[in-house]
Structure 1
Amino acid sequence: MHILEQLKWRYATKKFDETKKVSSDSIETLKEAFNLTATSYGLQPFKLIVVSNPEVIKDLVPLSFNQGQIGNASHIFIVCIENKVDTAFIKKYFDLIEKTRNTPREILSSFEDFLIDDFSKKTTEEMKSWATKQAYLVLGNLLTVCAIEKVDSCPIEGFSPDKYDEYFALSEKGLSAVLVMAVGHRAKDDVFSEFKKVRRGVDELVIEIE
């Protein structure tokens, strides 16, 4: 299996087959891929909500501008960002580095101090913008892994973040919903599955400096 063939196979699925559920093995793979996504400084300023409860999925439809692919998906993945990356958050990260790599703290201290100082200067909006960029890295990675796993997916920005936050009580958890991905297996009558992929030529998009 070549990755480019799988990327050509994938598309933004608009209708899932409600009778076909994504396997638990594939869901576990996606969760691991989420965790392994590259992020700025390795800080992982996000969390992932994985919804498989059919009643909850139905509840999310009106919160997502009544998009059908939400309602007939096998699972809904919600990427949430941390509302605050403060000194305690950063210190906890360096505790993990110290423990995982058995690295003396004095070797890490200059980098730790730099991050604490840098993030203390960010405004709330700057923090949100930075964290949201990390969430998009996650989404891109998840879409690719879905293709490798032969799991259909649809990335979704068309939802009400405030209503998602309220539904899942995210503010109480220090989180905000920023992106949604519906996953499942394409319905046979999803007309979008027959459309040719429209992309500009690689030569038009890639600038090579030799």
Structure 2
Amino acid sequence: MELLKNLQWCYATKKFNPSKKVSKNDLDKLKKAIQLSVSSYGLQLYKTLIIENQDIKNKLRPVSWNQNQITDASYLFVFCNYTEATHEAIDNFIKQTAEIRNLDLERLSGYGDFIKSKLAEKSQTYLALGNLLNACAELKIDACPIEGFEPKAYNQILGLDKQGLNASVIAPIGYRKYDDNTIKQLKVRKPIEILFDII
């Protein structure tokens, strides 16, 4: 299983090579992997910003605990959840489902009402982040999921509040520098027999 080999290869990269850039072709593949991510009810109530602009990355670094990955990586992925799961977003999803699957919109109205009654505020961004990390591992692109940043500052710098968005988790991607000491560190994971119970 190649996935297991790829997951063994990857690690939370602490030093990126700023001179080595991820190709547009690979970036397109990563975007497709995120697009195909699962989400509650298939709603995809999130948006992903891909920051390439160096000036913006420079502004974000101080509010990211001054981590060098922010400025040195090829791209910085900012996963944002919508602050409200509006009825309009759900109605648009139901309409899109009817169009793509060639179904009668009226037949799906009950499903839309069900979603509206059940959907609490959730961040689905971590599901998309997981797909990004797996896709990066397959393409031998380094990544580092980061929760150590100031969401309110990100929201202000990137103008997310005006869009009804909130920065949830970030992930710089690029290529490792080989003087990154964490490359040599062994993975620390719970043993299989402790992590799992079969009942």
* TM-score normalised by L of structure 2: 0.96
Number of the residue aligned with 1:29:
29
Give aligned pairs, total.
199
| 198-207 or 74-83: bigger deviation | 198-207
1:185 counterpart letter in structure 2: Y
Q: State the SS of the aligned residue for 2:145.
A: strand
Q: State the SS of the aligned residue for 1:155.
A: coil
Q: State the SS of the aligned residue for 2:56.
A: helix
Number of the residue aligned with 1:65:
65
| 73-82 or 50-59: bigger deviation | 50-59
Q: State the SS of the aligned residue for 1:176.
A: strand
Detail structure 1 runs of 4+ shifted over 3 Å in the superposition: none
Is 2:125 the counterpart of 1:163? no
Measure how far apart 1:77 and its partner are: 0.1
Counterpart of 1:179 (choices 169, 172, 187) is 169
Number of the residue aligned with 1:151:
141
1:87 and 1:19 map into 2 onto residues whose CA distance is: 45
Measure how far apart 1:118 and its partner are: 3.1
Q: Percent identity?
A: 39
Number of the residue aligned with 1:194:
184
1:23 and 1:54 map into 2 onto residues whose CA distance is: 17
Measure how far apart 1:110 and its partner are: 1.4
Matches within 5 A, 1:1-210: 2-119=2-119, 122=120, 127=121, 130=122, 132=123, 134-209=124-199
2:157 and 2:55 map into 1 onto residues whose CA distance is: 13
1:16 and 1:116 map into 2 onto residues whose CA distance is: 43
Deviations 1:45-73 (A, max 9, x none): 10000011122112211010101111211
RMSD of the alignment, in Å?
1.2
1:186 counterpart letter in structure 2: R
Q: Gaps (5+ residues) in structure 1?
A: none
2:127 and 2:30 map into 1 onto residues whose CA distance is: 14
Measure how far apart 1:84 and its partner are: 1.4
1:85 and 1:198 map into 2 onto residues whose CA distance is: 37
Q: Gaps (5+ residues) in structure 2?
A: none
